[in-house]
Amino acid sequence: MNLQVSSFEDYKKTYDYSVKEPEKFWAEIAENFQWKKKWDTVLNWNFKEPAIKWFEGAKLNITENCLDRHLDTIGDKPAIIWEPNDPEESHRVLTYKQLHDKVCQFAVVLKNNGIQKGDRICIYMPMIPELAIAVLACARIGAIHSVVFGGFSAQSIADRIQDASCNLVITADGGFRGGKDIPLKSVIDDALVQCPSVKKVIVVTRSRTPVSMIKGRDVWWEDEIKKVETMGNPECPAEEMDAEDMLFILYTSGSTGKPKGVVHTCGGYMVYTGYTFSNVFQYQPGEIYFCTADIGWITGHSYIVYGPLSQGATTVLFEGVPTWPNASRFWDIVEKHKVNILYTAPTAIRSLMGFGLDPLKGKDLSSLKKLGSVGEPINEEAWHWFDEHIGNKECPIVDTWWQTETGGIMISPIADVTPTKPGYATLPLPGIQPILVDENGKELEGNDVSGNLCIKFPWPGMLRTTYGDHERCRTTYFATYENLYFTGDGCLRDADGYYRITGRVDDVLNVSGHRIGTAEVENAINMHSSVVESAVVGFPHDIKGQGVYAYVVCPEHHSDEELTRKDIIMTVSRIIGPIAKPDKIQFVSGLPKTRSGKIMRRILRKIAEGDTSNLGDTSTLLDPGVVDEIKIGSEKMK
Ligand code: PRX
């Protein structure tokens, strides 16, 4: 079966087939990939334990699909176009042949440093080609990568390294993001104080920031490559992996305090990311594709690295931010590299909208053919701006809904195939069976309904477990509703059967498309010496989508309240990272709690949203008076 549907009729036919004959459907899709050995069984599953196995018995290496199989046909075509943070610096192009060679070389470096199949490797790097090379080199030899976004703190890195007992870290001296220099190696040094499992650190040169290299532990990337060159660049055959062997761990926030390591496996993830990339974007050979995400998040894993490369695409890797040195940066990149497909986030669109149309003046965006959005609900205003000013009303917008746990896009228009509707992720991709349920797990049938979004049948890209704690995987995703995967999202299915994601229904915030657990932020705030307790909720934010609103009980704060606010923000930055910094901190004398001690977040959310007219029933509160105090305090903060 062709990976791409050819028309809306074809989509409907394919969808029906994928539901009636899911195993046949996925086996036919999987035929489009290169296997060292084909599977014995397509699917074995139950959502109870859960135990999900796709393509059991099959052998493969994802890097052969991303690199080797393209060498004869498109070996000299660009695989990666790297655009640096500073437009004055030259960009770099790596052809498929060059990328293949560099991945093999670095895979040998890993082996020379004692790394074997199954070892866990933490990667903390800026958005430079070496990041993609490091990721692929791990996959080449069957080591399991755990990429940590460059904006996380030393403490967050240490937690992640310890959780997976990583034995090697790959980092850079430093990185550039907009006007900022990020001292990556120094952050790693702080993290490693708590991580005895790490025996080696490989450091690539990027910023030329002075760093302390520890004898016996730290080595330079460039020196290690030279050693491989003096070995005569030995071949690095791809390790034969079972379809269900782990490919990577990626940590994401949930409603409890500790981020969990979502585990993806080799075969299913390869098939799912390759399939969805090809089909959703209707990728045509030669097209230049630019996804603005960071490889530190799932979008970067699936749709900068693995999906595009398995399909022989040219993928643009951008080191910087949309607004530096000015708000034309994206549009300059589109013009310079003649980008055909642009995949970005609503938060970036909203922030660029704020600069008006001047940054677009004189920019040639005529190469653009398809646009995509990911990470959070896209508001209609941003959708229309994207459509009119970037797409010139000629480019389909694919509003792709999915999650770290789903591995790839689940509900989305297919470019030029599915009729779109602003704000709607539209229809499930072939192979995906969404279902809406009410609080009690009862299916909401028919159209014009809203409820909690679940998926009732497995798909190859789904998570298999949470690293080191399978029970957590079961309770988080498979125990809320029997025999269903629960997404944590609320969703509306309109009269046409189109899906619109309305946002999280659990205690997870989506700040600029980044997932942040309220409990995690509360834990960090509570570390501050004068904080007694805190409650964190989201509030609507014009650019970030959601902002972080913290109610803090802090009886002995400095006489200078502003300074205490800054101290708390600094504490959160240190414990989690700057991405989780509260936008608003309100000091309160107590939190609204029920008699059993539960914080009534519903009330706090409403106050944070500025909607205090109807706070619902407050009679069950231990001290209803506290609500009035909080209301008055919040109004003062406006
Ligand atoms: O709430 C949904 C929102 O982002 C969550 C997943 O976050 P994460 O695992 O970090 O992955 C983000 C990139 C895939 C979802 O539970 N979300 C993601 N895409 C959309 C979205 N909400 C609305 N519309 C989307 N297109």
Q: Which CATH number covers residue 41?
A: 3.40.50.12780
Residue nearest to ligand 1 atom 18, measured at CA: 375
Q: ∠ CA(334), CA(338), CA(339), 5° rounding? A: 60
Question: pLDDT value at position 619?
Answer: 82
Residue 631 falls inside a structural domain = yes
| One domain for residues 180 and 240 | yes
Alpha-carbon distance 85 to 322, whole Å? Answer: 10
**Strands annotated E in 427-506:** 434-437, 449-455, 465-466, 485-493, 499-504
Alpha-carbon distance 586 to 360, whole Å? Answer: 39
The interface predicted TM-score (ipTM) is: 0.99
What sections of 592-624 are H helices per DSSP? 601-609
Burial-class residue 595 by CB neighbours within 10 Å (0-12, 13-18, 19+).
exposed
| One domain for residues 446 and 575 | no
Residue 479 falls inside a structural domain = yes
Alpha-carbon distance 216 to 199, whole Å? Answer: 8
Residue nearest to ligand 1 atom 7, measured at CA: 403
| Residue ranges making up the domain that contains 592 | 512-637
Domain boundary among 491, 520, 547: 491
- Give Cβ neighbours of residue 138 (< 8 Å, ≥ 6 apart): 107, 110, 121, 123, 144, 145, 248
Ligand 1 surroundings by CB, under 6 angstroms: 252, 298-299, 374-377, 399-404, 425, 487-489, 501, 503-504, 510, 515
Residue 504 falls inside a structural domain = no
Domain CATH number, residue 543: 3.30.300.30
| One domain for residues 227 and 355 | yes
Which of 400, 406, 500, 501 is the best mutation target for the ligand 1 pocket, counting ligand atoms within 8 Å of the beta carbon and taking the most?
Answer: 501
- Give Cβ neighbours of residue 628 (< 8 Å, ≥ 6 apart): none
Residue 393 falls inside a structural domain = yes
Domain boundary among 427, 462, 491: 491
Q: Which residue ranges in the chain fall short of pLDDT 50?
A: none
Alpha-carbon distance 329 to 39, whole Å? Answer: 46
| One domain for residues 400 and 542 | no
Residue nearest to ligand 1 atom 12, measured at CA: 375
What's the gap in Å between 510 CA and the centre of ligand 1? 8
Number of folded domains in the chain?
A: 2
What's the gap in Å between 376 CA and the centre of ligand 1? 5
Yes or no: say if 430 and 14 are a contact pair by the CB < 8 Å rule.
yes
pTM of the model: 0.97
Looking up tokens 């082996």 gives: 111
Domain boundary among 491, 524, 539: 491
Residue 126 falls inside a structural domain = yes
**Cis amide prior to 50 (ω within 30 degrees):** yes
Residue 615 falls inside a structural domain = yes
Phi first, then psi, for residue 483 (nearest 5°) are 60, 20
| One domain for residues 517 and 486 | no
**Comparing C-alpha atoms, which of 236, 328, 342, 242 is closest to residue 288?**
342
How far, in whole angstroms, is CA 441 from its chain's centroid? 28
Q: Which atom of ligand 1 is nearest to the CA of 411?
A: 26
Pairing of strands 120-124, 144-147: parallel
Which of 262, 306, 383, 402 is the best mutation target for the ligand 1 pocket, counting ligand atoms within 8 Å of the beta carbon and taking the most?
Answer: 402
| One domain for residues 429 and 530 | no
| One domain for residues 619 and 471 | no
What's the gap in Å between 375 CA and the centre of ligand 1? 4
Residue 1 falls inside a structural domain = no
Residue 507 falls inside a structural domain = no
Burial-class residue 255 by CB neighbours within 10 Å (0-12, 13-18, 19+).
middle
